């Protein structure tokens, strides 16, 4: 029986207090209150330019979300898939531009889906991690995101065994909910400045979770996950947890609750199996499963506030662009990708051999490509990956790939393999282009026009030539370059003259 509702209006002071509480709560709920440069419903700027593409008709879309996708050129079928969820008051373009995920998609070979919510769903464009009608199995936004995954599997041939989800703040809260509701869909997750699964089941409880989640036992937190898909008996996702110690929007207690929750789900204790120090004043704690492989990892960034950890620069372990709530500390995307095994190594990362240095293309013919690299101490052999797929296991530091197609660009990475057969971190990617084919063609245009014509692409506000990945400078109409195409689809900068 519903309680009766009084017909008189509340006193003015009470209405004012309620209004201020609503405003304060909305500000807290914002989580990532970065001011968007356009209305949330507008398509990302990059979508019109060619890097990030909007996908329509991906399903019934019960959560009223928008789907954007980044697919590296020449991505083979059966590649991994990453789903990346933005924070409040952001758009998919912000995550695409600043997080570093497109950079590693190019290097390691995987597809990235960027779901986008709008102010039509939430006043600050937050994913609804606190609403059971939106974050539960088969419902609302969660169901829409899974429909995006299914669309990518059908249209791109993505490997359904290697689907991962990551998110910042409210996107991190939704990430945890998705892992609980769909452990059969996601092989791993990464929660950045986010909240434990099902921490709140109503808007009224959301702000309390942010500043201090309930003081539950690990088993009680674990039960919230197990309740997301009752009766599930398959493998659980591997979970990375990123948190700044100076985050006063989503307090560090949430990272502790996330650790308790997922270690309990895995049936392991809350004492780390190992702890080490990473760049950016970061402490990594690793929790092994019963087979001795990392199942849960926490990354605590000392002094970092609320945001996603990035580390702009050209290094193999750097990524992203510093911006509002993208904080220059450490490339969380790199370490998350290694933890999941996206670099070609075993899932879970752990104490693996370092990436081989000095990977070089030493020669090509119309059907072969030859590589060399520096030796790695402790390596029993090496794994060579062509376009993201393992193609050879040489014992030495040279390899010649055969049976290739003339006038075609191939991407290679190399990983050292230890005596137990575990592959280490993958090297920086190199491109080898076989000889033969049609004469070169030349195109002179602004960076904007080169991208619009499909001869180049954008990453982090810069333009890179398709194929050679040569840096062409800022993405705008003021910088002009001449690109030479040879073979088809492979472009190099030819400002000094375009011949051949």
Question: Mind telling me the catalytic residues?
Answer: 169
Rounded CA-CA distance 206/212 in Å is: 10
Angle between helices 170-181 and 140-156 (to 10 degrees): 80
The 3-state DSSP class for residue 430 equals strand
What is the per-residue DSSP string for 132-143?
Answer: HHHHSTTSHHHH
E strand or H helix at 122:
none
Rounded CA-CA distance 358/372 in Å is: 8
**What is the maximum alpha-carbon separation in the chain?**
86
CB neighbourhood size of 137 (10 A): 19
CA-based torsion, 88, 94, 100, 103: positive or negative: positive
CA distances from 216 to 185, 221, 229, 237, 243 (A): 27, 6, 20, 22, 19
Contact criterion met (CB below 8 Å) for 138 and 86: no
DSSP 153: H
Residue showing tokens 């195409």: 485
Task: Name the token pair of 453.
Answer: 């014509």
Rounded CA-CA distance 133/202 in Å is: 10
CA distances from 120 to 85, 110, 200, 421 (A): 17, 31, 21, 51
Rounded CA-CA distance 55/44 in Å is: 12
Angle between helices 218-226 and 170-181 (to 10 degrees): 70
β-partners of residue 465 are: 456
Rounded CA-CA distance 383/390 in Å is: 7
Rounded CA-CA distance 63/48 in Å is: 24
Smallest CA-to-CA distance from 453 within 461, 463, 438 is with: 463
E strand or H helix at 234:
none
Task: Name the token pair of 5.
Answer: 């509702």
């Amino acid at each position: 029986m519903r309680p009766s509702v009084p017909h008189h209006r509340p006193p003015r002071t009470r209405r004012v207090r309620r209004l201020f509480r609503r405003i304060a709560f909305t500000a807290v709920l914002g989580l990532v209150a970065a001011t968007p440069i356009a209305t949330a419903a507008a398509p990302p700027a990059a979508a019109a330019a060619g890097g990030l593409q909007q996908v329509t008709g991906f399903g019934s879309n019960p959560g009223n979300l928008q789907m954007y996708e980044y697919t590296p050129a020449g991505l083979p079928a059966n590649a991994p898939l990453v789903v990346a969820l933005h924070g409040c008051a952001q758009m998919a373009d912000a995550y695409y531009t600043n997080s570093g995920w497109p950079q590693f998609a190019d290097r390691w070979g995987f597809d990235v889906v960027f779901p986008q919510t709008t102010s039509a769903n939430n006043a600050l464009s937050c994913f609804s991690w606190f609403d059971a009608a939106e974050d539960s199995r088969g419902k609302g936004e969660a169901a829409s995101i899974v429909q995006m995954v299914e669309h990518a599997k059908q249209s791109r041939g993505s490997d359904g065994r290697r689907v991962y989800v990551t998110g910042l703040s409210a996107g991190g809260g939704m990430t945890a909910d998705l892992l609980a509701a769909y452990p059969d869909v996601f092989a791993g997750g990464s929660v950045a400045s986010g909240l434990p699964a099902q921490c709140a089941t109503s808007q009224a409880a959301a702000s309390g979770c942010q500043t201090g989640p309930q003081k539950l036992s690990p088993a009680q937190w674990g039960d919230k996950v197990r309740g997301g898909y009752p009766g599930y008996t398959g493998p659980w996702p591997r979970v990375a947890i990123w948190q700044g110690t100076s985050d006063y929007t989503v307090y560090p207690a949430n990272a502790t609750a996330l650790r308790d929750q997922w270690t309990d789900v895995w049936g392991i204790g809350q004492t780390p199996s190992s702890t080490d120090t990473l760049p950016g004043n970061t402490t990594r704690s690793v929790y092994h499963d019963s087979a001795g492989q990392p199942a849960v990892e926490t990354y605590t960034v000392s002094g970092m506030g609320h945001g996603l950890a990035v580390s702009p620069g050209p290094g193999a372990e750097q990524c992203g662009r510093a911006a509002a709530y993208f904080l220059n500390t450490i490339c969380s995307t790199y370490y998350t990708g290694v933890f999941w095994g996206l670099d070609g190594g075993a899932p879970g990362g752990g104490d693996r051999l370092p990436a081989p240095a000095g990977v070089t293309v030493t020669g090509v013919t119309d059907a072969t490509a030859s590589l060399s690299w520096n030796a790695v101490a402790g390596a029993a052999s090496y794994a060579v990956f062509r376009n993201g797929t393992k193609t050879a296991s040489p014992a030495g530091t040279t390899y010649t790939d055969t049976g290739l197609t003339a006038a075609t660009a191939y991407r290679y990475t190399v990983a050292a393999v230890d005596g137990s057969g575990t592959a280490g971190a993958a090297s920086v990617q190199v491109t080898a282009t076989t000889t033969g084919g049609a004469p070169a063609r030349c195109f002179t245009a602004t960076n904007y026009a080169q991208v619009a014509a499909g001869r180049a692409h954008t990453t982090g506000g810069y333009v890179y030539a398709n194929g050679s990945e040569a840096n062409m400078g800022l993405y705008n109409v003021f910088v002009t370059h001449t690109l030479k195409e040879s073979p088809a689809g492979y472009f190099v900068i030819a400002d000094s003259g375009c011949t051949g």
